Amino acid sequence: MNASQDPFAGAEDAALLVAYANGDGQAARYLMARLLPRVLAQATRMLGNGSEAEDVAQDAMMRLWKIAPDWRQGEAQVSTWLYRVVANLCTDRLRKRRGAVPLDQVAEPPDPSPSAVAQMQTQARMMALSDALAQLPERQAQAVSLRHLEGLANPEIAQIMDISVRSVESLTARGKRALADIMAGRKAELGYDDDEPE
Give the containing element (helix H, strand E) for 51.
helix 50-67
| CB neighbours of residue 197 within 10 Å | 4
Position 8 contacts other proteins (CB under 8 A): no
Q: Measured from the CB of residue 168, what is the shortest distance to other proteins in angstroms?
A: 17
Contacts for 173 with CB less than 8 Å, ≥ 6 apart: none
Site residues for other proteins, 104-133, by CB under 8 A, read 122, 125-126, 128-129
Is 72 one of the binding residues for other proteins (CB under 8 A)? Answer: no
68 binds other proteins (CB under 8 A): yes
Residue 30 binds to other proteins (criterion: CB under 8 A):
no
Cα–Cα distance measured from residue 130 to residue 24, given in angstroms and rounded to the nearest whole number: 38
Alpha carbons 135 and 179: distance in angstroms, whole number: 8
Smallest distance from other proteins to CB 14, Å? 16
Decide: 53 and 149 in contact? Cβ < 8 Å. no
Q: How far is CA 77 from CA 74, 82, 120, 192, in A?
A: 7, 9, 38, 40
> Which of 13, 18, 20, 84 is close enough to bind other proteins by CB under 8 A?
20
Query: Is residue 36 near other proteins by the rule CB under 8 A?
Result: yes
Q: Site residues (CB under 8 A) for other proteins? A: 20-23, 25, 28-29, 32, 36-37, 40-41, 44-45, 48, 50, 53-54, 57-58, 61-62, 65-66, 68-69, 122, 125-126, 128-129, 148-149, 151, 176, 179-181, 183-184, 187, 190, 192, 196-197
